[in-house]
Amino acid sequence: MNETENPWQTLESSVKYENPWLSIRHEDVITPAGTPGIYGVVSFKNKAVGVIPIDADGNTYLVGQYRYPLNEYSWEIPEGGSPLGTDPLESAKRELREETGLEARQWTKIARIHTSNSATDEEGFLYIAEDLVQGNHEPEETEELRVWKLPLAEAVDMAVTSRITDSLSVSGLLIVARLRGI
C-alpha cells in the first residue's frame, strides 16, 4: 500500500449531532482488515490557531483559564478558532490581541498540526509573534483569562513536565525550543 491509498471504505455516513462549533458523524465502514466496523468523527467548523509571543527580552505570554471539558485550570499559549475560509494568520493576530492585548509586527508560521487525528479532522496552525506592542486585551464573553509573562525557557519547561497539557501549546513550545536551541 502506498501512503496516499485509503484502506478504509465508507459505507454510510450520517451527522448525529451538530452545533455552531462542531458536528459529529457516525460512519459504517469496512476496516483495512476487510471487516465491518463503525467510526465516529468530530468535525470542527474552525481551524485551530496558536501563538507563541516572544518579546525582546526572551519572555513569552501564557493565558490561564478554566477549561470546562477537563474540569481543571489550564495554562496555554494564546489560541482560538479560525473560521473555515478565513486566513489562519489573521485569526491568530485577532486571538493574540483579544487574549493578551498584544500586537506583533513580525509573524512566523512554524507548524501545521492535527490536534487528535484518531477522532477529529481538526487542523491547527502555529505562529511565533515578535516585535510586540502592548495594547488592551478584549476576551470573549465566555472567557475569564489571566495573562502570565514569563521566560520562554520556563514555559518550555512547563510543557516538558506536563504542567502545560494543551496540544497546541505543547507542540508550539517544543517547536520553538528546537528552533531557538532552548
Asked, for residue 170, whether it belongs to a domain, the answer is yes
Q: Is residue 35 part of a domain?
A: yes
* Residue 1 within any structural domain of the chain: no
Cell numbers 512566523 correspond to 108
What is the span of the domain harbouring residue 88?
46-180
91 plus 20 within the same structural domain: no
Confidence of residue 140 (pLDDT cuts 50, 70, 90): low
- Reading the block at residue 49, the C-alpha cell is 490557531
Is 40 found in the same domain as 118? Answer: no
Buried b (16+ CB within 10 A) or exposed e, 107-143: eeebeebebeeeebebbbbbbbbeebeeeebeeeeee
**C-alpha cell of 112?**
501545521
| DSSP H helix total and E strand total for the chain | 3, 10
- The answer on 73 and 29 residing in a single domain is no
Mean of all residue pLDDT scores within the chain: 94
| More reliable by pLDDT, 152 or 142 | 152
- Looking at the fold, whether 99 and 24 belong to one and the same domain comes out as no
Q: What is the pLDDT of residue 142?
A: 66
Per-residue model confidence (pLDDT) at position 3: 82
For 54, 78, 103, 173, the CA distances from 48, given in Å and listed in that order, are 20, 11, 19, 16
Query: Does 18 share its domain with 77?
Result: no
Asked whether the beta carbons of 38 and 119 are under 8 A apart, the reply is no
Q: Does the pLDDT at position 105 exceed 70?
A: yes
Cell 505543547: give the residue: 170
**Does any domain span residue 2?**
no
32 and 115 together in one domain: no
Considering the entire predicted model, what is its pTM?
0.90
pLDDT-derived band at 141 (thresholds 50, 70, 90) equals: low
Within a domain: 122: yes
* Tens digits of residue pLDDT in 40-67: 999 999 999 999 999 999 999 999 999 9
Residue with the bigger pLDDT between 139 and 115: it is 115
CATH number at residue 107: 3.90.79.10
Task: Answer yes or no: is 4 within a domain.
Answer: no
> For the chain, how many structural domains are there in total?
2
pLDDT band at 144 (very low <50, low <70, confident <90, very high): confident
Same domain assignment for residues 86 and 31: no
Within a domain: residue 16? Answer: yes
Assess whether 106 and 137 both reside in one domain. Answer: yes
Q: Are residues 40 and 50 in the same domain?
A: no
| Structural contact between residues 179 and 95, judged by C-beta atoms closer than 8 angstroms | no
Same-domain pairing of 68 and 120: yes
| Pairing mode of beta strands 79-83, 36-44 | unpaired
Q: 69 and 24 share a domain?
A: no
Closest to 64 (Cα-Cα) out of 132, 171, 149, 175: 149
One domain, residues 105 and 176: yes
Structural domain includes residue 28 = yes
